[in-house]
């Protein structure tokens, strides 16, 4: 039999329906791959018993000829999603031992359709990071290496475990979440596809909150078709999330025609950053040519407030995080610090949070506390919210001008070595999100598509940004780009 | 503007995170780097611009004002580090 872990989600779906193999066989193949890949540290809580029982049940549905797309498909779930009875701790020590008594809306929808959960995936603590190095579980490792150099590389972050697992064929697809680039940057670093949908497309209920006005979940997959399938399954209105949109969810896969003739693609001049590596620049030019060859109209555009997106994000995201993470107080769930004789309730809060949160999370909570504190609220927080309005307006003007999608690099570099940024200023790490963060601030859909390798043999991605609610069109442009780029490289197995 | 150790101490307390005295100068320096980066926002002309309240124009949905949930005491307490007699337990709060 062929190696079932090498299939795409779409191929696996079709193979299951055709009876070429069974859901339990598909699940067993992936469970074995996971057990052989502990060095990647992608799966941090394995759920083989649950997976086997879900696969068995899925097979009866397949046999009855009543299987939705995801029926019997083995997935990895980011640790940020609450999964009933299964550890869900946002890669934080403060949620040690937490087992949610409820299921997130996204995983509920996936399981209803028969998806199989293989386990929970590593990530940056509370999704705060761009390298998966802030996790309480330790680093996730990128299956890609620089040629024969064995230096362990980051899979990116925050959805680093999801990216590593999909790139290493440990699951057919994974869920991720994206607050400033946390799906698209790791997808680019690992040669896979990742889409952050329009804000409100996917319910946030049961996903541990970081910055509620920016957080969106989305699929991380082997190709664009798989992203279309999984996105449809994750999307939809949810009465439990008041910001989830009550809009019909189209059949995104059916919209993948590959025909993008006449589509107008904008190239924003402000994304040409000073000091940007030549390879990124060249890839961007190549992407532009590929879309043009496919019949799209390329137009240079301006998004003048781009430069202010990162500083704006680093006010808004920490502000919202400081509020969201106030709930971790050692009272209702998670871990409480050991208290000394005579310690009062404030000692309990302060010791619990000092022990439970890692340095990056502490830093962001405190920055958020500062920008929201009396006397600074207007100068920082309100000003950032006004700049956010301007950033969104830049995109609105471009779309009103006839632009259908915008092409940019996904990241300013390829994957870097784990530990290489340890001594860097926190702001240096934040620059990883320079091309992706605007999309969260404007609430738009954005997709990262692998488009080439750099001189070290590492994958590079291009990002496409679409109009709100038009993920179908965006996926179709991405599909056209994917076909033109013909990116088929896989990491050589060393783990 | 420079963040001093007194400000760092105050912010840590507001955030209810214990920071040891010797860590405060380094923390103040980190704040300084991040806030220095954020200062760029002062270059933007925001005169007459509305601060964003919602990224997609939406009216929050309303629902019937009825009880939809409840009677889940055991589940609510399930993950508490210290639960006694149906309550969350914390150190003494009032003298």
Residues lower than pLDDT 50 in chain A: none
Residue A255 sits at the chain B interface (C-beta within 8 Å): no
CA distance A7 to chain B (A): 37
One-character DSSP codes across A425-470:
-HHHHHGGGTTTHHHHHTT--EEEEEEEE-TTS-EEEEEEEE-TT-
Q: Is residue A44 part of a domain?
A: yes
Q: Residue A258: which CATH number? A: 3.90.1300.10
Q: Is residue A391 part of a domain?
A: no
Whether B92 shows a pLDDT value over 90: the answer reads no
| Distance of alpha carbon A88 from alpha carbon A155, whole angstroms | 21
Mean pLDDT for the stretch of residues B33-62: 91
Which positions in chain B touch A426 (Cβ < 8 Å)? 30, 33-34
Q: What is the dihedral of CA A411, A209, B74, A337, to 10 degrees?
A: 80
Q: Is residue A494 part of a domain?
A: no
Cβ distance A366 to B56 less than 8 Å, yes or no, reads: no
| Distance of alpha carbon A125 from alpha carbon A91, whole angstroms | 5
Which positions in chain B touch A351 (Cβ < 8 Å)? 18
In order of A48, A274, A339, A436, B4, the CA distances from B19 in angstroms are: 41, 38, 16, 33, 14
Residue A467 sits at the chain B interface (C-beta within 8 Å): no
- What ranges do the domains of chain B cover? 5-42
CA distance B70 to chain A (A): 14
DSSP 3-state percent helix, strand, coil across chain B (nearest 5): 40, 5, 55
Cβ distance A427 to B78 less than 8 Å, yes or no, reads: no
Residue A280 sits at the chain B interface (C-beta within 8 Å): no
| Distance of alpha carbon A316 from alpha carbon A111, whole angstroms | 34
Q: Which of A101, A331, A366 sits opposite B12 (nearest CB)?
A: A366
Q: Residue B1 has what pLDDT?
A: 57
Q: Which of B58, B72, B79 sits opposite A98 (nearest CB)?
A: B79
Query: Percentage of chain B with pLDDT > 90?
Result: 80
Q: Which of A333, A354, A385 sits opposite B52 (nearest CB)?
A: A385
Structural domain including A161 reads 4-262+480-485
ipTM: 0.95
Q: Residue A316 has what pLDDT?
A: 98
Assess contact for A492 and A485: CB atoms under 8 A. Answer: no
Q: Residue A439 has what pLDDT?
A: 98
Q: Which of A102, A246, A387 sits opposite B46 (nearest CB)?
A: A387
| Position B93 confidence tier, pLDDT thresholds 50, 70, 90 | confident
The three-class DSSP label of residue A400 is helix
Q: Residue A38 has what pLDDT?
A: 98
Closest CA to A406 of A321, A294, A484, A303: A303
Residue A376 sits at the chain B interface (C-beta within 8 Å): no
Cβ distance A344 to B92 less than 8 Å, yes or no, reads: yes
Cβ distance A332 to B56 less than 8 Å, yes or no, reads: no
- Here the tokens at position A19 are 């009876």
- Domain total in chain A: 1
The H-assigned helical ranges of A168-235 are: 184-190, 224-234
Mean pLDDT for the stretch of residues B20-24: 96
Q: Is residue A166 part of a domain?
A: yes
CB neighbour list of residue A391: distance below 8 Å, 6 or more residues apart = A303, A305, A306, A308, A309, A312, A438, A441, A442
Assess contact for B56 and A388: CB atoms under 8 A. Answer: no
One-character DSSP codes across A286-298:
HHHHHHHHTTPEE
- Here the tokens at position A202 are 């996917």
Residues 442-461 of A with CB under 8 A from B: 442-443
Q: Which of B8, B52, B93 sits opposite A388 (nearest CB)?
A: B52
Peptide bond between residue A10 and the one before it cis (omega within 30 degrees of 0) = no
Mean pLDDT of chain B: 92
Residue A380 sits at the chain B interface (C-beta within 8 Å): yes
CB neighbourhood size of A72 (10 A):
31
Q: Residue B95 has what pLDDT?
A: 67
The pTM of this model reads: 0.97
Cβ distance A366 to B61 less than 8 Å, yes or no, reads: no
In sequence order, the β-bridge partners of residue A301 are A268
Q: Is residue A363 part of a domain?
A: no
Residue A261 Ramachandran class (φ > 0 left, ψ -120 to 50 alpha, else beta): beta
Residue A373 sits at the chain B interface (C-beta within 8 Å): yes
Q: Is residue A91 part of a domain?
A: yes
Count of pairs with CB atoms under 8 A, one residue in A, one in B = 167
Residues of A marked active site are found at 78, 158, 182
| Position B20 confidence tier, pLDDT thresholds 50, 70, 90 | very high
Q: Is residue A385 part of a domain?
A: no
Residue A333 sits at the chain B interface (C-beta within 8 Å): yes
Cβ distance B41 to A443 less than 8 Å, yes or no, reads: no
One-character DSSP codes across A101-155:
SS--HHHHHHHHTT-EEEEEE--SGGG--SSS-S-TT-----S--BTTB---B--
Interface mutation target, options A83, A353, A369, A394, chain B, most CBs of B under 10 Å? A369
CA distance A463 to chain B (A): 21
């Amino acid at each position: 039999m062929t190696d079932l872990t090498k299939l795409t989600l779409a191929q696996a779906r079709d193979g299951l329906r055709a009876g070429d193999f069974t859901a339990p066989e598909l699940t067993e193949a992936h469970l074995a791959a996971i057990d052989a890949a502990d060095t990647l540290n992608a799966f941090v809580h394995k759920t083989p018993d649950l997976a086997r029982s879900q696969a068995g049940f899925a097979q009866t549905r397949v046999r009855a000829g009543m299987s939705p797309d995801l029926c019997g498909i083995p997935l990895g779930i980011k640790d940020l999603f609450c999964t009933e009875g299964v550890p869900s701790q946002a890669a934080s020590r403060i949620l040690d031992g937490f087992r949610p008594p409820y299921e997130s809306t996204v995983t509920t929808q996936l399981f209803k359709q028969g998806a199989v959960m293989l386990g929970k995936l590593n990530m940056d603590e509370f999704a705060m990071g761009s390298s998966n190095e802030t996790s309480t579980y330790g680093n996730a490792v990128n299956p890609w290496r620089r040629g024969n150099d064995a230096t362990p590389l980051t899979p990116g972050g925050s959805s680093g475990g999801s990216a590593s697992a999909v790139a290493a064929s440990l699951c057919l697809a994974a869920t991720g979440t994206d607050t400033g680039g946390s799906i698209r940057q790791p997808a680019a670093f690992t040669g896979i596809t990742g889409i952050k949908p329009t804000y409100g497309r996917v319910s946030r209920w049961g996903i541990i909150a970081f910055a509620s006005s920016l957080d969106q979940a989305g699929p991380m997959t082997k190709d664009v078709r798989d992203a279309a399938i999984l996105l449809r399954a994750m999307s939809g209105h949810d009465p439990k999330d008041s910001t989830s949109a009550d809009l019909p969810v189209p059949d995104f896969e059916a919209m993948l025609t590959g025909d993008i003739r006449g589509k107008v693609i904008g190239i924003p001049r402000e994304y040409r950053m000073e000091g940007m590596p030549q390879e990124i620049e060249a890839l961007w030019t190549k992407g532009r040519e590929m879309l043009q060859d496919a019949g799209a109209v390329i137009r240079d555009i301006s998004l003048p407030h781009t430069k202010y997106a990162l500083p704006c994000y680093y006010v808004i995201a920490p502000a919202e995080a400081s509020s969201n993470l106030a709930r971790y107080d050692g009272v209702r769930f998670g871990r409480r610090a050991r208290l000394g004789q005579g310690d009062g309730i404030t000692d309990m809060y302060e010791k619990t949070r000092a022990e439970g949160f890692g340095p990056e999370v502490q830093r962001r909570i405190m920055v958020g506390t500062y920008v929201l504190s009396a006397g600074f609220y207007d100068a920082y927080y309100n000003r950032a919210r006004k700049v956010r309005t301007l950033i969104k307006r830049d995109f609105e003007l471009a779309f009103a001008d006839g632009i259908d999608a915008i092409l940019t690099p996904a990241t300013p570099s390829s994957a870097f070595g784990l530990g290489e940024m340890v001594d860097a200023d926190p702001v240096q790490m934040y620059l990883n999100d320079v091309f992706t963060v605007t999309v969260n601030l404007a609430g738009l859909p954005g997709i990262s598509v692998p488009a080439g390798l750099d001189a070290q043999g590492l994958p590079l991605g291009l990002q496409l940004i679409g109009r709100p609610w038009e993920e179908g069109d965006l996926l179709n442009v991405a599909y056209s780009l994917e076909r033109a780029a013909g990116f088929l490289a896989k990491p050589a197995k060393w783990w | 503007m420079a963040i001093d150790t007194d400000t760092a101490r105050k912010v840590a307390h507001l955030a209810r995170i214990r920071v040891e005295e010797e860590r405060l100068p380094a923390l103040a320096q980190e704040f300084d780097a991040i806030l220095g980066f954020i200062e760029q926002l002062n270059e933007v002309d925001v005169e007459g611009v509305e601060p964003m309240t919602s990224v997609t124009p939406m009216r929050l949905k309303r629902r019937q004002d009825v009880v939809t949930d409840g009677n889940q005491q055991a589940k609510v307490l399930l993950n508490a580090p210290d639960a006694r007699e149906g309550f969350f337990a914390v150190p003494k709060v009032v003298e």
